[in-house]
Structure 1
């Protein structure tokens, strides 16, 4: 038998192009890409030891794939069939798992568990879970939705999204909402700090020290927030907040305010204030559509970064923390980027309505 350590590797033009494609294409399996690089290196010349040194791999690896290529050419670089346990789960059982998961529920329950379904189909719970993962099924999860019944849904979506994507010239756009009843909570025991391998720990129960309401106006262009703390969120409190926005906004700019349909936003006292300040224009979001108000995204950051794990031993501590959070945010303000057009949102709502309006619903 010829010594493959010295036998030259001569490639045809077709083989060279194929090997270069395997060696450089990202979608190629990692093992096949390495084998292609080994053969290409061998074609440049040199012993197995020299090629192994250039590629920083073991010489036996080079010897194996050089000999297989010389014997079988490109076909020799593919993986050979490997021994293993024969398949025990039939296509019919896979289909039964999927169909039962999608179309049936177990007796006396609302959804399948892997053990209940495994017992019905006659396979192991691990196999059921593997099939669920392959088909993207998660029967233990559920989500909620609400379709807005607002008769002006389409007009309001176009109005609000238009302010995000194409704001008027010489104008400031604010997304406004209230976060009511923010609780000042302290734990009944001191918080235990995080340690290597141990997360921060806190007692399950807590003590309430009062509540405060937060009015927030997010400037959609700059990301900065105007905040105001209040004991309540009545119409006159909302009016006073609008006055605060008026004081902090450049006099020459028109002001467009995006807010929800809370009755306090439409009260006579607010209407009278708007008549006296004609540069202000209110834009209302559709009912049950808080997701379209960008300030809700800021409230989510506030909850996650400041309130969720905060410990406030008094109402004053809570107020100081909220004011500090707003100050820190404004020092590093960044706007949220709105990407969906009004037509994309409306089309998605229409598709969802089609799905839930069929005979099965």
Structure 2
């Protein structure tokens, strides 16, 4: 039986330097290192049998990579593209899964507040969109478009039809105007010593710090503060508790000072809390507007 002659290898100078880096580099993949060593041995005129004997490789392996380099050069030492396992789901099925994610569960008749990956997987199978599917596969699809239907953010819809007019009055005070005339203190709520009922959890990888919203005062005093937004000046006092009387004590303290005591009109901007609303507040001599 005739044995095919070994392919002659004559790499160029640039290719030879590249082969040496691949064959003896510390960061080169093992498979590429072996292939480069085969080519360098072949470039010295050695036979395939001798190369196989010196490297401990099979003769067919030496013959394969020697021939690949002879045909394609350095590009022939890379792995060829493999088809891999065919995809289990079509692009249309992936798109349908993402479209379902972007719908509220109530719109589809599912009794859920928001989707989770296991619930989405069950719903996709129930609708015969994908057949049986794992939650991890659904999670991988959603990660491609940064979809996280299990997370939510709350906000408040404005329902007061007169909100614009009311907000305009307050905002104009901060802008130093009143009824078009160029011209103010704001109560600072919740400035008090308090302790959380549960400890704060430190942040971790891909996780923000977690702070529990419930707290206990622990018999601490309430600190009421008012701020003159135009002079950047704060007024504060401690009270055993909150309420109308503690708030009016703060008002009286501020209104006893200049320039508020001699002012023709003083504006107090407060929220709709029970501590500063009602007829009792409006009749108080210290609050003029």
TM-score normalised over the length of structure 1? 0.40
**Which structure exhibits the higher relative contact order, with contacts defined as CA atoms closer than 8 Å and separated by 6 or more residues?**
1
TM-score normalised over the length of structure 2? 0.49
Structure number, greater radius of gyration: 2
